[in-house]
Structure 1
Amino acid sequence: MSAMKSSGWVYTFGLVAAWYSSNIGLLLLNKYLLSNYGFKYPIFLTMCHMTVCSLLSYIAIVWMKMVPMHSVNSRVQFMKISALSLIFCASVVSANISLKYLPVSFNQAIGATTPFFTAVFAYLITLKMESWLTYVTLIPVVAGVIIASGGEPSFHLFGFIMCLGATAARALKSVGQEILLSSEEEKLDSMNLLLYMAPIAVVLLLPVTLFVEENVVSITLALAREDTRIIWLLLFNSALAYFVNLTNFLVTKHTSALTLQVLGNAKGAVAVVVSILIFKNPISATGMLGYSLTVFGVILYGEANKRSK
């Protein structure tokens, strides 16, 4: 019995390690490609992610049967999934654009304000009020980002706006997903949702890519002739984008949403440390203080949420 329990712990630890590695790896590789390598096409990069996610989702669900496949039951449900896909695209594209201009450490500090935007959208859309304690815990979340912004040596206004937009879109997607797919007939697990959202995202992103980042395909092919690494980097980067979603689903399934939230807070801090070590971006004491305050606020928010339920 103890051997089974121990193997269960090893499996869960392995899943969490895979989730951390894929999350932080994707973030750092996106930063490397868009900023250090000089591949300045964030929309095309997102489209590559969604194309590979479509293919790997199909293989995992239809061929490997990792989870039962759920069908889309109505045109209305399809429209809801399409709306979520549009918000998802906006979030990922904005996040990738922000990485061109901001260091990963500051990007993570802004991303930690997701609970603030979630609470705002939940109230605006559903008029659902949280307990006063929950709202009080959001004060250090926002204050921390304001302090971090003031002390950020590499602050870039456009990058900051893009990162805020990505964070808000991420929160809007989670609130929208809860509302739009709340009925038992329409509920989809995250793997099935990605199976339907990713191809829709490709269709949405293709015309935008061709219009905003014209000649990106010929530029990428020309770049590949000079340096074949770019093809492998794009393929590996896109596969990582899928594994982020896969490991996210598996960790939630084998632990709980609350555990995932706690692990997510720690992941942000690990990503900050690793990115500073790799990219050696300057960071001030004020910036670190602000980020620490935000993470502290997020932890308090999680605790307040748990108690209110």
Structure 2
Amino acid sequence: MSEHKDLEASIPLNSMPRASDVDMDLTHGERIEVKIQDARPPSNQPKKIVIPAIIIIPIWMACSISVILYNKYVFSNLNFPFPVFLTTWHMTFSAASTRILQRTTNMVDGAKDLDISRDRWLKSILPIGALFSGSLVLSNYAYLTLSVSFIQMLKAFNPVAILLISFAFKIQEPNARLMMIVVMISVGCSLAAYGELHFEMFGFLCQCAAVAFEASRLVMIQILLHGLKMDPLVSLHYYAPVCAVINLLIIPFTEGLEPFYALHRVGILVLFSNAGIAFALNVAAVFLISVGSGLILTLAGVLKDILLITGSVLAFGSSITPLQVFGYSISLGGLIMFKTTGGK
């Protein structure tokens, strides 16, 4: 799903840059006199737009929920079961949109500060983009056979996958807190899967593979792009073209020409509005990371997940058992611990 990726298509909230990440010791112990008029930004420099948390958090939640439910609607209700094509369209739309924003606004100015050489592009951007593509495609395939609510419960396993891969690459050392988080989330997800009434092995394996790809992508970013700050739009600016090209290359072997013959089922309006909402999610994420504390953003993410599961039940009639509610509650507890401690 072009959830980019529910922020879950992009960088997780706990790893996004915050104001507290900026080194404020600019003087290095030296005394510097600054005149008031010198501290003001030049009149020709565009001012950075800041949206209050009370406004941007609901907007981000609405976009995130809408992307998932809208994609499920396209797959199921409009009978358009072509996740590779839809992901390719989303990435093509996003690649074009980020370049339009780069030329008309200052929202993608972060790309100017990054030194992406040809060698770095081949060794870092390309493999990370390939993992991103695999994550999106496999996650979308899961929506063909599994309910939105069940998939959202399985996504709670993402932190465990990240931790396990980090342990394997020795980026992090296991400790009692991390192992407790791994056990809590694993037990919770196992109970949620065991309690699923309409379990489909194909969709389950696709979602598990999507989680593995996404976790690998995030760890690769930490290893290969260490020290580089990429907000969701800058990240999309680099990865969207890679994903679009990779998907175009695999469409002939997965879906062929069938999606093009079935385009009349969705129509131009649905295609553009669907991709537009997915892109709007990334725009909202840019404003989101500059407001609120890590705890507020974590709680907002948990509330969003609960609302999404509720919305899927109301919109698609998904069934949720008491065992799943219990298991997911345990997973959420571990998820909150993971995000509020910064994954350490």
Structure 2 counterparts to residues 80-91 of structure 1, below 5 A: 80-91=124-135
Displacement of 1:85 in angstroms is 0.6
Alpha-carbon displacement from aligned partner over 1:99-124 (angstroms, at most 9, x marks no partner): 11111110000001111011111111
Structure 2 unmatched ranges of 5 or more: 1-48
Query: 2:301 — aligned with what?
Result: 264
2:236 pairs, out of 173, 194, 204, with 194
Structure 2 counterparts to residues 30-179 of structure 1, below 5 A: 30-68=71-109, 69-70=111-112, 72-79=115-122, 80-179=124-223
Letter matched to residue 172 of structure 2: K
Query: 1:25 — aligned with what?
Result: 66
* Mean CA deviation greater in 95-104 or 189-198: 189-198
1:208 and 2:241 aligned: no
> TM-score w.r.t. structure 2 length?
0.80
Query: 1:4 — aligned with what?
Result: none
Q: Secondary structure at the match of 2:80?
A: coil
Structure-2 change in CA distance of 1:279 and 1:128 (3 Å): same
Aligned equivalents of 1:244, 1:281: Cα separation in 2: 24
1:241 pairs, out of 275, 278, 286, with 278
Answer whether contact 2:98 2:108 (CA < 8 A) is retained.
Answer: no
Answer whether contact 1:91 1:165 (CA < 8 A) is retained.
Answer: yes
Aligned equivalents of 1:102, 1:290: Cα separation in 2: 18
Structure-2 change in CA distance of 1:170 and 1:295 (3 Å): same
Letter matched to residue 233 of structure 1: V
Query: 2:25 — aligned with what?
Result: none
* Aligned residues with identical type, % of pairs: 27
> TM-score w.r.t. structure 1 length?
0.88
Aligned equivalents of 2:155, 2:60: Cα separation in 1: 17
* Mean CA deviation greater in 173-182 or 71-80: 71-80
Structure-2 change in CA distance of 1:205 and 1:128 (3 Å): same
> Relative to total residues, which structure has the larger helix share, 1 or 2?
1
Aligned equivalents of 1:97, 1:53: Cα separation in 2: 20
Structure 1 unmatched ranges of 5 or more: 1-7
Structure 2 counterparts to residues 284-295 of structure 1, below 5 A: 284-295=321-332
Q: Count how many residue pairs are aligned between Structure 1 and Structure 2.
A: 293
Aligned equivalents of 1:247, 1:101: Cα separation in 2: 29
Answer whether contact 1:210 1:216 (CA < 8 A) is retained.
Answer: no
Displacement of 1:187 in angstroms is 4.1
Answer whether contact 2:193 2:324 (CA < 8 A) is retained.
Answer: yes
Aligned equivalents of 2:223, 2:297: Cα separation in 1: 21
Letter matched to residue 176 of structure 1: M
RMSD: 2.1
